[in-house]
Amino acid sequence: MRPDDPLDSCTGFDCDEGNVDKNWQRHHVAFWEAEEVFFNEPLLRRRDVSHSSTEPRLWVLGRTDSDRYLFISFTIRRSLIRVISARDMTRRELRNYGQAKA
């Protein structure tokens, strides 16, 4: 982890049923798969400045326990990770993730 990593202060997950349903219906990503990504390395993290007008948003590229490669958009509320969107990585994201792993 980096010294200024916002994930260091997180203590769990805040589940929003609307986002859980949306991520399953649109992308076939279960909430528990999205959560797994945060416990596996490497985890490529970035701030999402273009979507942070109402609250700070971030995104990660990572993998599940079954080696599914996911893009996760999220925010942190009261030390809890709130997943906004979860989907499979694009080809470009997979390349970037592969370079980060090297």
Whole-model pTM?
A: 0.88
**Where is average pLDDT lowest: 29-38, 43-52, 65-74, 86-95?**
43-52
- For residue 2, name the pLDDT band (cuts at 50, 70, 90): low
Please answer whether residues 87 and 69 qualify as being in contact, where contact means their C-beta atoms are separated by less than 8 angstroms. no
User: Which helix (H) or strand (E) is 75 found in, with range?
Assistant: strand 69-77
**Residue whose C-alpha is closest to residue 69's, from 31, 102, 29:** 29
Instruction: Reply yes or no on whether the pLDDT at 1 is more than 50.
Output: no
Number of H helices, E strands in the chain: 3, 5
What pLDDT, in 10s, does the model give residues 53-78?
678 899 999 999 999 999 999 999 99
Please answer whether residues 52 and 91 qualify as being in contact, where contact means their C-beta atoms are separated by less than 8 angstroms. no
The identity of residue 29, as a single letter, is V
The pLDDT, as a whole number, for residue 83 is 96
In the chain the domains, ranked by start, together with CATH numbers, are 6-101 (3.10.450.530)
